[in-house]
Structure 1
């Protein structure tokens, strides 16, 4: 029990919780903002164009985000029929969430590198860990949500390349698919492919912030 509830572990969970309260609202608000700009105010009218975590929080999704590094929030309501081009509108609004997380990861990496240059080895450990989680958890959230199966954001993007009838047939089973994906994630089945993509994204962000050092 001491190892499970030791100070270091508790601090890690606390830092993850802080990141979760930033990353998920940015993700969901990005969906709401882009869908509104594309002509559908459904999410905006529902109060989802907000960085207040209470507007987006899902208990189980939040717990998974803290303890597993990936999670989810309450779905943002979007009406494709209000877009000029429903398929394109859905893809763009879906992509906004993962892109917002990648932007947060990118900005966090810039801040970390700037602080490392200024403070060197004197950078406070707690701040280092917070920035590390800001990068790693946002990258994980973006990659996880880009899975090309319903109900993840990647499925809306995949709609651009799939016949619509197959997409909507898959949508009928999105709850079952979600359960299967979560079970696979819990048992580590997705660890290898997600880690490969996540590491590749991390390297791209590192290269994109090379100007700082």
Structure 2
């Protein structure tokens, strides 16, 4: 059970991660011709439109949670298959970019280049980064209703309808078992995402920290 301070520091990463993830789904769906998310009020960065109260609290307390899924009508996506894959990957792409951003902010805060140094600020940025890395790695799992499954389903051979139906039926149980028992070690997935984040963020951090200090504090 995390401490109260740890919960408070995790709130920004969870709220921003969830809101931007779902907004990305809605935005890309709109780009591909489906206005369902817009009509349902999901084409917004307002966290209240995307947060599920129970899912948010569980992620803060237990490390496992969810947001309100964005409803998409695949029949309105053009081209459909490309649109479905793009919409599915939009959320994790957004979380990846957020993880890069929070790592950059952590680096600047830890160096005292944000105009105000405090270890709690640095730790908050670090936790936000790890939360978004979790959202990337977890959502890439090929299990419904996760984004990875919506991509993997297009790679299955014809005649896989029964397998897909069984995955939808038993996926909630499988996901629960994964988190309750830790029977599947997902740390290699998270570590791979973290390394990719560092790979992208490092040259950006070097470029930013090379700027004059006065410019950074403007």
TM-score when scaled to structure 2?
Answer: 0.84
Per-residue CA distance 1:145-175 (angstroms, 9 max, x = gap): 1111111100111123113542575256525
**2:73 is the counterpart of 1:79:** yes
User: Are 1:88 and 1:160, in contact at CA under 8 Å, matched by a contact in 2?
Assistant: no
Q: What is the DSSP-based 3-state SS (H/G/I as helix, E as strand, rest coil) of the residue aligned with 2:22? A: helix
Gaps of 5+ in 1: none
Per-residue CA distance 1:52-108 (angstroms, 9 max, x = gap): 222112233112221233421111110111112322211110100111111100011
User: Are 2:30 and 2:38, in contact at CA under 8 Å, matched by a contact in 1?
Assistant: yes
Tell me how far 1:207 sits from its aligned partner: 2.2
Structure-1 residue corresponding to 2:37: 43
Mark the CA change 1:134 to 1:164 in structure 2 (over 3 Å): closer, same or farther.
farther
**2:175 is the counterpart of 1:181:** yes
User: Are 2:110 and 2:119, in contact at CA under 8 Å, matched by a contact in 1?
Assistant: no
**2:188 is the counterpart of 1:196:** yes
Within a 5 Å distance, the mapping from 1:147-158 to structure 2 comes to 147-158=141-152
Structure-2 residue corresponding to 1:145: 139
What CA distance in whole angstroms lies between the structure 2 residues aligned with 1:111 and 1:139?
A: 15
**2:184 is the counterpart of 1:208:** no
1:166 is matched with which residue: 143, 153, 160?
Answer: 160
Q: Which runs of 4+ in 1 moved over 4 A?
A: none
Q: What is the DSSP-based 3-state SS (H/G/I as helix, E as strand, rest coil) of the residue aligned with 2:154? A: coil
Of 146-155 and 176-185, deviating more is 176-185
Mark the CA change 1:102 to 1:69 in structure 2 (over 3 Å): closer, same or farther.
farther
Per-residue CA distance 1:30-71 (angstroms, 9 max, x = gap): 000000010001011100111222211223311222123342
Count of residue pairs brought into register by the alignment:
204
What CA distance in whole angstroms lies between the structure 2 residues aligned with 1:164 and 1:13?
A: 46
Mark the CA change 1:134 to 1:168 in structure 2 (over 3 Å): closer, same or farther.
farther
User: Are 2:29 and 2:35, in contact at CA under 8 Å, matched by a contact in 1?
Assistant: yes
Alpha-carbon RMSD across the aligned residues, in angstroms, is: 2.2
User: Are 2:143 and 2:171, in contact at CA under 8 Å, matched by a contact in 1?
Assistant: yes
Gaps of 5+ in 2: 207-218
TM-score when scaled to structure 1?
Answer: 0.86
What CA distance in whole angstroms lies between the structure 1 residues aligned with 2:122 and 2:161?
A: 42
